[in-house]
Amino acid sequence: MAAATHRQHDPAKPTSTLDFSKKTRKPHRLGRYETALRSFRILKGLTPEQVSSFMDSYIIYDLDWADEKMMVETLGPDYQHRVGECLQNYYGVLNHLCAIGELEKMYIPPALDLNASITANQILYEESIAEELHLPPNAKLLDLGCGRGRVAAHMTSMSGARVTGLNIDGDQIASAVAFNKQKRFQNEFLHADFNDLPLPLEDNQFDGFYQIQAFSLCKDIPALCKELHRVLKPGARLSLLDWASLDAYDPTDTHHQKLMRAIKPLIGAVGTPTPQSMIKALESAGFRMIKHDNASIDGLQAPLIESADGYFRTTRAALLGLVRIGLLPTHFRTLFNRLTQDCDAFIEADRARLITTSYHWVAEKPAEGDLERTKTASPASSDTAVNAGTPPSEVDRPDPFPKKV
């Protein structure tokens, strides 16, 4: 089996700050319907220029941060700025397309319960973040790529932490501010691009960090990891969930190349990290690896991807019917045709274990006076990696560096 089918309880972690009486497997549907209705109205009112900018933004997904020459040839010497503009045009529309379905939070989570919905699996995964970060009371958390702030609100409801979120899309930031204000949370949201370094944050400020499928948009992951090391307090942990190409992916295989070209626009990935490239970036920045694995049951997200694809294809069929009889503008056809394109490639590559969007890394900034230990022990480094081919006994091993309490 490629990954653990459950998450083992860590008896060493402090639990006093987590209020799991507030957790729920049944999401608040009224709030989701309100978001979906708002997004539907915004999509209906898009101008031809906004639709064109959205479609044109897909050019960046034919590129890769690792190929700077191609970036310059396609986008010009100021390619980082151009990528930022494309991302804003992309997410300014995509977030509303996703909100119509079960992807209000804009991510397909690890498959943790195959009998549960996408939204319920999101809740399960977010609960696991709150546990593995070992947060102290009144913690301050950082979230890069925070979207509409729904994950931040969930983290606050469970842990009492105050979350600072950054996102490149101003519309999502406005939604995050409004939603968290409605919940009476004191979370803060900044309209910023995490590719513009240094981050607008103070040193040693946060007790923990998490990100969900945002680092594939990062131009320089090693530099960003150094920034995270700067802003996290000694002893703080980080939790990453992201897209990665796996060992089975062969960049010289023409079919693999075709799948990759189809998948990157679908999931919105500019870079193509690997489990080991992320580990190298974290360790080089000074973090100590705690664990890494494919967080999905048996290392496969395909059941949830298929669920999302089925929903959006059904929605597309209904909307195209309304377009045909003139009740919706024709750009709904353009948008939903693009949204549902190439999902079969995503499912095929996931089932072939070529790629995943549920790879998971947990690392820790060593506490003061603990640097020597970091130099001599890093249990999840490349020599002892927990990856798609590791036996379950290693995946489920207890945390080798329990938090000192």
For the stretch 107-148, pLDDT in tens is: 999 999 999 999 999 999 999 999 999 999 999 999 999 999
Low-confidence ranges of the chain (pLDDT < 70): 1-31, 371-405
Tell me the C-alpha to C-alpha distance, in Å, between residue 240 and each of 144, 216, 290, 307.
10, 11, 12, 24
pLDDT on residue 376 = 53
pLDDT on residue 229 = 99
pLDDT on residue 17 = 54
Asked if residues 331 and 320 have their Cβ atoms less than 8 Å apart, the reply is: no
Helix (H) or strand (E) holding 254: helix 254-267
CA 154-91-57 angle, to 5 degrees, is 160
d(CA 333, CA 318): 11
pTM for the model stands at: 0.86
Nearest of 184, 150, 155 to residue 167 by alpha carbon? 150
pLDDT on residue 256 = 98
For the stretch 72-99, pLDDT in tens is: 999 999 999 999 999 999 999 999 999 8
pLDDT on residue 382 = 44
pLDDT on residue 20 = 56
CATH of domain 20-395: 3.40.50.150
Tell me the C-alpha to C-alpha distance, in Å, between residue 30 and each of 18, 33, 156, 190, 217.
25, 5, 20, 27, 32
pLDDT on residue 101 = 75
Nearest of 238, 303, 274 to residue 388 by alpha carbon? 274
Nearest of 364, 375, 369, 376 to residue 401 by alpha carbon? 364
* All structural domains of the chain with their residue ranges: 20-395
pLDDT on residue 240 = 99
